[in-house]
A and B are shown apart, each in its own frame.
Chain A
């Protein structure tokens, strides 16, 4: 193991690590907290909850978002729910089981102690959110309801209709708003972080661009917390928001923060397929649909353009049920996505582009309709009546999702099977952090999707919200003390120091650089081409040959960008094209690192599938050689990254092959 990568996992039995550590870690006294400034970048679940909680504790917090309001962060779009080991359903759930499911779901590529801590604090999150006024779904008795999600055998998912992320984010946003009104948090809207500033090796501030007028500003603090989300938009098309980007994390990376497991991307199996060239983003349909929908494609290629309702049962291939009889349509996301890729690669995809499979509710409608007819004592119900009653049941369960589908696709999913296809959804990789969520740069922390820590190679449903809030509400408020306890004698950091001036100058030069190219191609067109390369060669399945080729293609694309991009307008104004140009420039670098990582990992695990490493089409993990976290150190532009390995030890869990057959 690299000696730079100290995971700082506390000693002791797994279940007691966090409790004991929390009880013995250094603290910052209230009178000192008042003098310590913390910079929080990002206001999604992780950032908003961290800023609010740190403000409550008495720190002076400065919080930044590029949005017009902290409430817009993309956590808001999460639909399904949030896991917690409450065992309210008395179905055998426990902290250990949630821990186990998360490690297994992550294909044994995450750090045990972090995941166990996540499972422990998951219970507190639900309590906290309910107290904040998050209107979780409830039973008639007034207690909280749960549902189950893919890849687990218990019901531990708390939800607020199909808008759980929205409600949780509004909870965190209101907690943040409260601290803003009390003056403990100073909010900077429409400020984008463009660089991390280090003084004497420690993170001491950031350089931002005021998006309204282009002003380059320095903001200093005793430490910097990055909660800037994932990098799925490197694929251009993803379920991420249009403005989600990697730039904050990437800038920190170039200042010495290691980037871990960048090749682990989650491709979500149930998204609305691409409809045309102009497509700007993809929309997710909640995983919960796979509880009742059956996935199929025609057996014969010539049936693919036919009206699906006219294809007889014997000519349909319910391929998930066929290949994975044990889990059927409820296999984990990576497995379901890959299977969809195989059948479309065989030419059996449906829809205008041939890049879609059916998600069919006809048998669920019939099943529910018959059950309704039974319970109403209608022994002679006509098929039409059964369908009508069945549709009503399906509507009650998934009405808002069906409505959204119909709005986008303009087809009635009650009558015609939905068309779905996998799409980039989440990035498990991210900034490398230790147990304290501190990066390789002292004083720089990373939370939520921005870090790599908890999901290994694949994330289970309803655990992203859990991780974001765990990091923000219940982990960083403690662990930040391990750094800050030694900083109480550090006076207020001045943003006038030469380090800040140098960073500002570098940022200004970078901006001038993209503006001065004055070429002929739009930023958007480069982003689209990058996305195409990433999707084709570093998407659902990868191979060494393709990756090697793609790395070269990206380098060429980057060179072309630097010589032919056209960014209209100037720096000194509201200029979304400039914002986009800076972000795409960073994606063009990140893409190459993702490919390096994918090339290095000569195995298939979770969201990373290397065609060379399979066993009868199923992912082949190589634990002996690759049970490590790949943490990449930036050296210089257009040069190789240095790889540092953090070996993963599983002391509390037996490492097995995932099987869903």
Chain B
């Protein structure tokens, strides 16, 4: 169980403070244990920088177990790095080789402005949810949970969409910076369940309109989002949202 170590070179996007409008800065780290997580490698780098009285790299992270959706790095051109279905915090250094140069950049999109280094502002996602990503039920209004049976397959399908962690990798991966996968996952989660179907027509219009307002791009069905999604959410949700949106705008009297 002797741990393997590797030497790596990093090119990290630094922005703000002394780095102004931003540039890639070179760092090198030796004897990086391969059992280290990618973010722990950054911890080590930052400790090194602090010891040299330099400004550590700002990056966002919280749960470090792949569920909170806070971490956001594009590693060698891939949001959350090379491992499929994995967030940055769950990526380990064993995915890299001795002597590798690793390029680390923030999630890039107009609607995700960079705050500092690798930290971006994703509040546009909150705005999309606020536009309609909920079921309008006040506390206390609910009937017994078993009063509305939900077919297991339907419930599972809703779950598959609901598993979205709101990290924004879909937007970061999309050459068009579209937020269709994020938005459609919520539309799909809620409209698939009988509880959420009631207001699905209005919801889909409101959420799509907000998504457009936030300045995200349009979907060209490139499917890079699906490939990079750490929760492997399917682009089938996008088709579902398109269908519901068209039906709602053209086929109902609803207007959001």
Whether A and B touch (Cβ < 8 Å) is answered with yes
Q: Show the binding face of A for B, using Cβ within 8 Å.
A: 49, 52-53, 56, 67-74, 76-77, 86, 88, 124, 126-133, 135-144, 160-161, 163, 165-167, 170, 173-175, 177-178, 180-181, 187, 189, 212, 239, 241-243, 275-276, 278-281, 283-284, 351-352, 404, 407-408, 410, 473-474, 477, 522, 524-525, 566, 568-569, 573-574, 576-577
Contact, CB under 8 Å: A177 / B145 = no
**For B66, what are the chain A residues with a Cβ–Cβ distance below 8 Å?**
404
Known pairs A56-B139, A280-B64; A167 contacts B162 (CB<8 A): yes
B217 within 8 A of A: no
Nearest Cβ distance between residue B215 and chain A, in whole angstroms?
18
Q: Which residues on the A side are within 8 Å of B141 (C-beta)? A: 131
Q: Knowing A135-B155, A276-B35, A410-B94 touch, does A86 contact B145 (C-beta < 8 A)? A: yes
Question: How far apart are the CA atoms of A126 and B145 in the complex, in Å?
Answer: 6
Question: What's the minimum C-beta distance from B1 to chain A, rounded to whole angstroms?
Answer: 4
- Subset of 24 A-B contacts with CB under 8 Å: A68-B70, A69-B126, A70-B126, A72-B62, A72-B70, A74-B63, A77-B68, A130-B145, A131-B143, A132-B135, A135-B155, A139-B152, A144-B145, A170-B162, A174-B129, A177-B126, A189-B126, A241-B64, A278-B33, A280-B64, A474-B139, A522-B50, A566-B53, A568-B54
Kindly report which residue of chain B lies nearest to residue A410, judged by CB atoms. B94
Provide the residues of chain A in CB contact with B3, threshold 8 Å: 275-276, 352
A74 touches which one: B40, B68, B130 (CB < 8 A)? Answer: B68
> Are the C-beta atoms of A410 and B35 separated by less than 8 Å?
yes
Nearest first, the 7 A-B pairs at minimum CB distance are: A142-B149, A174-B134, A131-B142, A130-B145, A135-B159, A127-B142, A181-B130
| Complex contact B137–A132 (CB within 8 A) | yes
Smallest Cβ-Cβ distance to B59: which chain A residue: A576
Cα of A38 to Cα of B160 in the assembled complex, Å: 36
Query: Which B residues are within 8 Å of any A CB, using their own CB?
Result: 1, 3, 16-17, 33, 35-37, 39-40, 43-44, 46-47, 50-51, 53-56, 58, 60-70, 83, 86, 90, 92, 94, 115-116, 119, 121-123, 125-126, 129-146, 148-152, 155-156, 158-159, 162-163, 165-166, 189-190, 193, 195-196
Q: Is the interface of B mostly helix, strand, loop or mixed?
A: loop
CA distance A52 to B55 in the complex (A): 39
Contact in complex: A477, B33 (CB < 8 Å): no
* Most-contacted residue by chain B among A124, A140, A242 (CB, 10 A): A242
Contacts A68-B122, A135-B162 given: A241-B33 contact, CB under 8 Å? Answer: no
CB distance from A414 to the nearest CB of B (A): 18
Q: Which residue of B has the minimal Cβ distance to A134?
A: B162
- For the complex with contacts A174-B135, A177-B130, 5 further pairs of A-B residues with Cβ separation under 8 Å are A132-B195, A473-B140, A522-B50, A524-B47, A574-B119
A163 lies within 8 A of B163 (CB): yes
Q: Tell whether, in the assembled complex, residue B55 and residue A568 are in contact, meaning their CB atoms are under 8 Å apart.
A: yes
Shortest beta-carbon distance from B57 to chain A in Å: 10
Please name all residues of chain B whose beta carbon is closer than 8 Å to the beta carbon of A86 when the two chains form the complex.
145
A143 with B62: CB separation less than 8 A? no
Q: Is the CB of A130 within 8 A of B92?
A: no
Among B50, B67, B159, B195, which residue has its beta carbon within 8 angstroms of that of A130? B195
